[in-house]
Structure 1
């Protein structure tokens, strides 16, 4: 089998690593890839958002399947473009990808189909947004409607902070076109959770759930990022809660996709807030999360290629999904200045014990990295995800931070509290 992975971050390295474990995969390409994907695949210098060039490349290579990592090419219609040439893509159509591309559109859909979600209003005019905010209960959540790489969300404790957030998104265009429209949403209290399911045209299958850490500093302080760490399984996710998530979120979302005739074949990532009243939908992402993919993919025993093929063929009903019984913790290692202004081109060094290959207790997934004149250097904000695994979270956490300790470059920073409050908790027993 010949496969193509689109993207160049830690998630895409995790995808290539996962596919590389499968003896059925004989040839693997990554576009554009990074220094880590090059360990498993042939990197091709085509940008992930260049749909025309990617389509031409795929016509030449004729991969059996393409797996798309980031959201931008999905929202730009890569699945539709490839489909016109008979090329199969694990990922939704552009119309379906609007579930991530427009938070206001998704909010309206959730309300129509009875999916629990916070009260919210959308605005195209900053003056109208400010007027509404003044009379809406605080704290408020203010979100860019479009794609902002996980950074377009602000929690405003008072009207002054709300005004600042509205101005930065709609007038200063902190995240460009993503802030032309915004949502002002009621603040929900609870435990945030990332839940994943596979959707095909006939049914869905729950894939798993993970906790992630969005703030840049320990204790959930500082600005939002694309994600600073993740872990699974969660001791908070009981079988009863999983059933509730399936019934109130995924079942209704799949019914909505069917009723709206959305052509959705791929993974669907629901950002949830688990409150005293149950799970509420915060947002939908139409791909694997990053850094959640780096802990979710190593938890799967069923080969990813088998999962993706079953999804694309509307055969999820025949898929036997098997999982490893282990805990996983991922810690993101970021460059100086991330998330506001990441520094580039810092040389990266490894300790003598660190090798860029999978170990029995962990792995280092490469993100924003490049090789220049034989030297590995930083090339963006999130440089690595150090992943550890073990029978308990305390073991997985130790192995993840062992991977962190083996890396050094100027200005590197990471959170030191990923899964720290969960040390020693056993993996929940599966249902009989």
Structure 2
């Protein structure tokens, strides 16, 4: 079998590592890939939907797995299916559950899914007038795709007005911010649950704790994720029951009512409060850095699970009785203005964890930083502490200029 994996982040590295020992797979291709994937297959430099389609036809790709959200929203699954190419992911219509937070919020409200109260705005002055009558803090979200960074918790009116101006007038995230979702602030802790979809059912993975703030102690701006732990130590059986009854079940009912029967991944971003579990957002793909800790603990063959889903079969996910920790090492300035192009040193001295590259590129025999989240260090252990010690020991070994990471991943 020939596999094409679309994407170049830590998530795609984790997919590659999970698939690498499957003897049925003769070759893996990655678009555009990174230094991890280059060792496990062949990186290719197509990035348009049409270019990827033509590549899949030319190379007779047996299965394509889509990592990032942008190609899904652009309709890569629709295009591949026109040409009878096997691909795992939702069509464009379904991907709007991630691609438009306004569309997503309406879906939640229509289907009585437990979520924060919210209002959608298309006009700048209407949004400004609305926040002047609210109690703070509030949450302001760019409706479109903003690389995981288009969410601001505004602590006061000045911050709210400034955020609305940046999103809608300055357009710091381009067209993603011309429509806003303004919602109530929920106090609690976050959790992530990713599920496989086989067209008629959803099969959840273990819950994950993701660390979104840039700085140790949960301070600083939101990021795409500074680390993760699985299973989430805070997410109890009671929280899971609430999730099943008030989020998972009505989501599936809403998809069926809308005649949406997709085969791919669906990500539930959750907030657990004193009043129970609420849905913050959907993603229609694997999370990053959640994927990095889910796959090392999954006993099933990823290839078998995906094929069973594509064939509409039920799946039975099995999990190791271990803990997994992922630590993300970042470029200086992330998630704002970043500094890149620096050599990553001492990689040959890493002994305790798996190195999964993301924002990095090869130059000759060197690997240089090229993005905000440079690499993930992933380890498993009998306890969170054991796994945590492994990644932090290796983090002390790896060196690149201006690099930084949080010091409290796995401390809870």
Tell me the TM-score normalised to structure 1 length.
0.93
User: What CA deviation, in whole Å up to 9, does each residue of 1:150-202 have, x standing for no partner?
Assistant: 10000111111100110111111111110010011000011111111112222
Q: Hey, what's the Cα distance between the residues in 1 that align with 2:199 and 2:349?
A: 47
Compute the displacement of 1:344 (Å). Answer: 1.9
Q: Which runs of 4+ in 1 moved over 4 A?
A: none
**Aligned pairs (5 A) from 1:236-385:** 236-315=234-313, 317=314, 319-350=315-346, 352-354=348-350, 362-385=353-376
Native 8 Å contact 1:95 1:263 kept in 2: no
Compute the displacement of 1:244 (Å). Answer: 2.0
Residue in structure 2 matched with residue 87 of structure 1 by the alignment = 85
Residue in structure 2 matched with residue 424 of structure 1 by the alignment = none
Q: Hey, what's the Cα distance between the residues in 2 that align with 1:137 and 1:22?
A: 54
Aligned-partner SS, 1:147: coil
Aligned-partner SS, 2:205: strand
Compute the displacement of 1:325 (Å). Answer: 1.4
Native 8 Å contact 2:210 2:290 kept in 1: yes
Compute the displacement of 1:87 (Å). Answer: 0.7
Which segments of 5 or more consecutive residues in structure 2 lack a partner in the other structure? Answer: none
The answer on 1:23 being equivalent to 2:19 is no
Native 8 Å contact 1:202 1:314 kept in 2: yes
Aligned-partner SS, 2:206: strand
Q: Hey, what's the Cα distance between the residues in 2 that align with 1:320 and 1:130?
A: 49
Residue in structure 1 matched with residue 140 of structure 2 by the alignment = 142
Which segments of 5 or more consecutive residues in structure 1 lack a partner in the other structure? Answer: 422-432
Compute the displacement of 1:124 (Å). Answer: 1.0
Residue in structure 2 matched with residue 428 of structure 1 by the alignment = none
Native 8 Å contact 1:197 1:250 kept in 2: no
The answer on 1:418 being equivalent to 2:409 is yes
Q: Hey, what's the Cα distance between the residues in 2 that align with 1:234 and 1:202?
A: 27
Q: Hey, what's the Cα distance between the residues in 1 that align with 2:333 and 2:118?
A: 33
Tell me the TM-score normalised to structure 2 length.
0.98
Residue in structure 2 matched with residue 430 of structure 1 by the alignment = none
Residue in structure 2 matched with residue 2 of structure 1 by the alignment = 2
Residue in structure 1 matched with residue 62 of structure 2 by the alignment = 64
The answer on 1:40 being equivalent to 2:31 is no
Native 8 Å contact 1:32 1:45 kept in 2: yes
Compute the displacement of 1:259 (Å). Answer: 0.8
**Aligned pairs (5 A) from 1:136-215:** 136-215=134-213
Q: Hey, what's the Cα distance between the residues in 1 that align with 2:299 and 2:25?
A: 15
Q: Hey, what's the Cα distance between the residues in 2 that align with 1:226 and 1:351?
A: 24
User: What CA deviation, in whole Å up to 9, does each residue of 1:56-112 have, x standing for no partner?
Assistant: 001112222111100000110000000001011111110000000011111111111
Q: Hey, what's the Cα distance between the residues in 1 that align with 2:181 and 2:38?
A: 40
Aligned-partner SS, 2:204: strand
**Aligned pairs (5 A) from 1:399-418:** 399-418=390-409
Native 8 Å contact 2:118 2:183 kept in 1: yes
Native 8 Å contact 1:363 1:403 kept in 2: no
Native 8 Å contact 1:206 1:246 kept in 2: no
Native 8 Å contact 2:35 2:362 kept in 1: yes
Residue in structure 2 matched with residue 396 of structure 1 by the alignment = 387
Native 8 Å contact 2:191 2:235 kept in 1: no
The answer on 1:53 being equivalent to 2:76 is no
Q: Hey, what's the Cα distance between the residues in 2 that align with 1:278 and 1:223?
A: 26
Native 8 Å contact 1:75 1:94 kept in 2: yes
Aligned-partner SS, 2:132: helix
Compute the displacement of 1:351 (Å). Answer: 5.4
Q: Hey, what's the Cα distance between the residues in 2 that align with 1:351 and 1:147?
A: 33
Compute the displacement of 1:352 (Å). Answer: 5.0
Aligned-partner SS, 2:208: strand
Q: Hey, what's the Cα distance between the residues in 1 that align with 2:320 and 2:23?
A: 18
Moved more, 230-239 or 133-142: 230-239
Q: Hey, what's the Cα distance between the residues in 2 that align with 1:77 and 1:45?
A: 19
Residue in structure 2 matched with residue 74 of structure 1 by the alignment = 72
Q: Hey, what's the Cα distance between the residues in 1 that align with 2:347 and 2:304?
A: 36
